[in-house]
Amino acid sequence: MIKRIVIGTVVTVSVATIILSGIRTLQQRKGELHLVYRTITTPEDILKEPFDCRNLVPVVYQDVPSLTSLSPAERKDAFIRILLPSILIAETEIRDARRRAIKIFRDIDRGITPPPEEVAYLSGLFRKYRTYDRQTLLSRLNIHPPSIILAQAALESGWGRSRFFSEGNNVFGIWTFRKARGLKAVSSDARLSVYDSILDSVRDYLYNINVGWAYEEFRDMRSLNPDSLELVSYLKNYSTLGDEYVARLNRIIRSNRLENYDSCRIDPRYFN
């Protein structure tokens, strides 16, 4: 588990509320990508939704129920359907920020003075990612295969059976020191973070991986583009289980063929 103070994320939702098959849907324009917000009331709801890995609808799920009542096969299917869109959305955001930062750096190297809004944007990235070194920023402003994220999420949440998943959208077992906002663990005074959506949970997980001192070697290795099974060996600091944690991730990725989801893409029709 990661222990970190949670910084809240405010999301402004616009347009209309549409009722479809008992699922609340909100559509929003965010940057260049249209996000679709949905709240599902039963775990069976998610299995009724169309799911095309190559043209994935950028759905953000809120207030998801426990997946305990589903069979193991259905549970894994539902869990992946819930989580994968948020993974692709969050990684798209990071990828876009990285491209924008690289363009600003290139202009500077060419002697071109960036406009004030680009200078402010770059300064904000340096502050957010806790560095003022260009190469360190680009190392932190990066992504890794969805198969690894799915495996960690499955392991930390029991494929969506944990109460932290259903009560707080906490997919990765991330702790908080803000007791008023956290869910109390059963066997200790520790509290786990509460998120407004699955997307916010994924964003926080990626941020922790991108700035945490324990994952510096992981960040260095992912820049070399190894496959998921090689890269997970550098995540032993994520859990006190160490090497056993890595072995479990390997088994989850292999047995569920999660690397098949590394080629999934958001439906281009949802981009401006």
Burial of residue 145 (number of CB atoms within 10 Å: 0-12, 13-18, 19+)? buried
Please list the alpha-helical segments (H only) found in 29-145: 43-48, 72-109, 116-128, 134-140
Count structural domains, the chain: 1
pLDDT averaged per 10 residues in sequence order, the chain, 272 residues: 31 28 39 86 88 94 91 96 97 97 97 96 97 96 97 96 90 78 65 90 97 95 91 94 96 97 96 86
Indicate whether 199 belongs to any domain: yes
Tell me what pLDDT residue 119 has.
96
Indicate whether 11 belongs to any domain: no
Task: Please list, in sequence order, all residues whose beta carbon lies within 8 angstroms of the beta carbon of residue 258, skipping any fewer than 6 positions away.
Answer: 146, 147, 150, 151, 228, 252
Q: Is-contact 199 219, C-beta < 8 A?
A: no
Indicate whether 216 belongs to any domain: yes
Indicate whether 28 belongs to any domain: yes
Tell me what pLDDT residue 192 has.
82
**The model's pTM:** 0.86
Tell me what pLDDT residue 176 has.
78
Q: Is-contact 245 235, C-beta < 8 A?
A: yes
Tell me what pLDDT residue 189 has.
65
The CATH code of the domain that includes 167 is: 1.10.530.10
Q: Is-contact 60 89, C-beta < 8 A?
A: yes
Range of the domain at 82: 17-270
Indicate whether 243 belongs to any domain: yes
Buried b (16+ CB within 10 A) or exposed e, 87-97: bbbbbbbbeeb
User: What is the distance of C-alpha 201 from the center of its chain?
Assistant: 6
Indicate whether 2 belongs to any domain: no
Tell me what pLDDT residue 50 has.
85
Tell me what pLDDT residue 226 has.
83
Tell me what pLDDT residue 58 has.
96
Residue type for position 42: T
Tell me what pLDDT residue 175 has.
80
Q: Is 183 helix (H, G, I), strand (E, B) or coil?
A: strand
Indicate whether 233 belongs to any domain: yes
Q: How many CB atoms lie within 10 A of CB 263?
A: 10
Indicate whether 5 belongs to any domain: no
